[in-house]
Structure 1
Amino acid sequence: MTKLKWGMIGGGEGSQIGPAHRLGAQADGQFEFAAGALDHRPDVGRDYAQRLGIAADRAYGSWQDMLEGERGREDRVDLVTVATPNATHFEITKAFLEAGFNVLCEKPMTMSVEEGEEIVRVAEASGKVCAVNYCYSAYPMIRQARAMVRAGEIGKVRLVVTSFSHGHHGDATDADNPRVRWRYDPQMAGVSGQFADCGIHALHMASFICDDEVARLSADFASTIPSRVLEDDAMVNFRMTGGTVGRLWTSSVAIGRQHGFDIQVFGETGGLKWFSEHPNQLEYTPVGGRKQIIEKGEGGLHEDAMRLSRVSIAHPEGFPLAVANIYCDLADAIRGEARDSLPNAADGVRSMAAVHGAVSSAQQDGAWVDARPPMFR
């Protein structure tokens, strides 16, 4: 099978997410790292790209140079990953879609709902794949949980409770650290801090496993470190279109929690529980029965969980290979085999509508608001 050609924008040297994409994209031999504009400083980006093995003529100084350079090539990249600061996602993603490239965009896909709806329309018009990197939904045991819900193995879902809370921004003396400060600056992060950064992963996960969408929500935001304009802690209650009740807590000042991403799904006949710090296990409890541990790699798993498990039982795969699973689904989609598990532009705009809805609700002391983008109401 011929490798697909892959290019990356952002994710340069020292980036938090860049290595995960480079490992993930190349883990299964389906993509060749062929082009990149990896840094906002042209010379630095070109140098780093070449050190990673990209040919000099495809080591670009800017995303605009990469767009023009790749557009005219017969061997142009099949997929472009956008891993730049949030405020640039819309412009870059739109430009590459309009030029006929498939795109994987880091979350949040856009800064506004209107931009998100525009990306949905552009993606549909282009006929190209536009995916959003909600990579936690690609852990094998999350795919197992979704398949179990779809198969009715816990009955109708009544309640979902999720959190994505850590304490790594809890030190007030570190508030001016540039790697921290931008997340609470409206000019860089947009209208929301912690909820837009981590909370939307938890919200997407709830929708993904429950196979349902958030219809309305009520939010309480807090900036526990006074110098921060945007929230560093949020509690969000929500209701899904099928009637499921949702509870979500997200925080960056929860000192003592590390990654802190977990989800519990409670149905009529059973419950499921997953922790990101123990991703190989899914807890399942049937009504009136004992708790069971379902292990990644064991026999009898649903197909999607089996397909995305690379190593034998008890061997951890970890975060980069969850990202790799997104690239597996992307490779299939680009080759014409659609995967409904691949987070797409519609998921991206739904997340942004929820962010703006939560901000509006918090400003109204928790009033219930519509969480859907206008195009899906």
Structure 2
Amino acid sequence: MFNEERRFEQPIRWAMVGGGRGSQIGYSHRSAAQRDNLFQLVAGAFDLDAQRCKEFGTNVGVSEDRCYSNYQEMFTKESQREDGIQAVSIATPNSTHYEICKAALEANIHVICEKPITFTTEQAEELKALSIEKNRVLGVMYGYTGFPMVQQAREMVKRGDLGDIRVVNMTFAHGFHNIEHEKNDPGLKWRVSPEVSGPTYVLGDVGTHAFYLCELITGLEVKRLSCMRQSFIESRAPLEDNAHVMMEFESGAVGTLWASAVNAGAMHQQKIRIVGEKASIEWWDEHPNQLKYEVQGEAPRVLDRGMGYLYNDVDGVASNRIGGGHAEGYFESWANLYHRFALAFQAADNDDQEALANLWYPDVNAGIEGVRLCEKCVESTDQNAAWVDYK
């Protein structure tokens, strides 16, 4: 079971950039960060409007004098305080991630950033080098990877329960943007605007989630890929609202990724199926407490979170917050990740590089590969779905 007694001498002093009034993702960050009393929200640049920022910040318990009109002011003034912030979460549109991450790292502040962390791998690699230089952690919010059954799947692959991996089928194909909703939805409008969203829409927005599940669970490395992108809502071009990717991995395994916002009638449809020489597993984020396990020649079975037959000696699997049979969900997954980020921040602050190296969390490398995926898919599409080398 989850260790609720883990404590620091003082909670990590934490701030947010973005995520203000009406932000669903901002609420997700705050709920996750404060679940285990390892973080305390003490400052924020929650809104571009200074008055709205102060109103919102004070309403969620932040002192008025620590509600800042912009992130530059916050980083400067907080760095001058003895009780200044130690970490910041970035929940702003994509085009701002690079500059805010860079400014935070230069101010010696740990970072948790929404993805994509940058528009280019060159920028992402620059942030990685800076984080190493400053001995600061740069984490990426791949929020679905905190589910215990994802960690169970990872451990099953690692222990050879499936045999050699042959096929990976990745899907994140919802239907919520099947028509031009952005006409009346500012929150969607920026996601389909290249200058703010970057070179992709659904590949960066949802496809990277499914791709990181593959990376995390299987450890496979992509050798080359081929991508087709479509803009079924024509006004979204050149950004895609549907994409199909074929992949070849270095091991000889193959994979497919379907990312879509126009899968009419579907909720998330975020699924990953991993086919090995002996067995297959399948996980679906709409039913996150179960993992399908199908061994050739045996009756299919469904593994349930919290049960004694799982690999409960693995820290990630042992993050169950309540016994089996009870539903755990999205907020528990996010809280598990924030718990891991806190441990990573502590290890870096103590310069415990061994502990940091042995702790899994979605790190800057996960962010780099998400950016690389988008870049390579655009490159392939621009060459009529040609196969392109991944690295």
**TM-score, with length taken from structure 2:** 0.92
In 2, Cα distance between the equivalents of 1:300 and 1:69? 52
Q: Is the aligned partner of 1:104 residue 2:112?
A: yes
Please say if residues 275 and 281 of structure 2, whose CA atoms lie closer than 8 Å, have aligned partners that are also in contact.
yes
The equivalent residue for 2:250 is: 241
Q: How many residues align?
A: 372
Please say if residues 163 and 261 of structure 1, whose CA atoms lie closer than 8 Å, have aligned partners that are also in contact.
yes
Q: Is the aligned partner of 1:324 residue 2:335?
A: yes
Please say if residues 172 and 271 of structure 2, whose CA atoms lie closer than 8 Å, have aligned partners that are also in contact.
yes
Q: Is the aligned partner of 1:210 residue 2:218?
A: yes
Q: Is the aligned partner of 1:279 residue 2:288?
A: yes
In 2, Cα distance between the equivalents of 1:71 and 1:48? 23
In 1, Cα distance between the equivalents of 2:41 and 2:250? 41
The equivalent residue for 1:366 is: 385
In 2, Cα distance between the equivalents of 1:154 and 1:200? 24
- List per-residue Cα deviations over 1:58-114 (Å, max 9, x = no partner): 221211111012111222222210111100000010111121111111000111121
User: Residue 198 and residue 173 in structure 1: after superposition, are their counterparts in 2 closer, same or farther (change >3 A)?
Assistant: closer
- SS across alignment from 2:204: helix
- SS across alignment from 2:203: helix
The equivalent residue for 2:368 is: 349
- SS across alignment from 1:326: helix
The equivalent residue for 2:302 is: 293
- List per-residue Cα deviations over 1:28-86 (Å, max 9, x = no partner): 11111111111111211122111100112222121111101211122222221011110
Please say if residues 93 and 190 of structure 2, whose CA atoms lie closer than 8 Å, have aligned partners that are also in contact.
no
User: Residue 79 and residue 173 in structure 1: after superposition, are their counterparts in 2 closer, same or farther (change >3 A)?
Assistant: closer
In 2, Cα distance between the equivalents of 1:173 and 1:6? 34
Q: Is the aligned partner of 1:225 residue 2:207?
A: no
Q: Is the aligned partner of 1:307 residue 2:318?
A: yes
Unaligned runs of 5+ in 2: 1-6, 348-354
Structure 2 counterparts to residues 1-377 of structure 1, below 5 A: 1=7, 2=9, 3-172=11-180, 175=183, 177-229=185-237, 230-302=239-311, 303-336=314-347, 337-338=355-356, 339-372=358-391
- List per-residue Cα deviations over 1:197-221 (Å, max 9, x = no partner): 1111111111111112223210000
The equivalent residue for 2:351 is: none
Kindly report the root-mean-square deviation, in angstroms, between the aligned alpha carbons of the 2 structures.
1.4
The equivalent residue for 2:4 is: none
Per-residue deviation at 1:176? 5.2
In 1, Cα distance between the equivalents of 2:70 and 2:327? 37
User: Residue 173 and residue 311 in structure 1: after superposition, are their counterparts in 2 closer, same or farther (change >3 A)?
Assistant: closer
Residue type of the partner of 1:313?
G
Residue type of the partner of 1:160?
V
Per-residue deviation at 1:234? 0.1
In 1, Cα distance between the equivalents of 2:79 and 2:251? 44
- Once the two structures are overlaid, the 10-residue window that deviates more, 145-154 or 337-346, is 337-346
- List per-residue Cα deviations over 1:276-332 (Å, max 9, x = no partner): 000000111122211111111111322234332101112122112211111111111
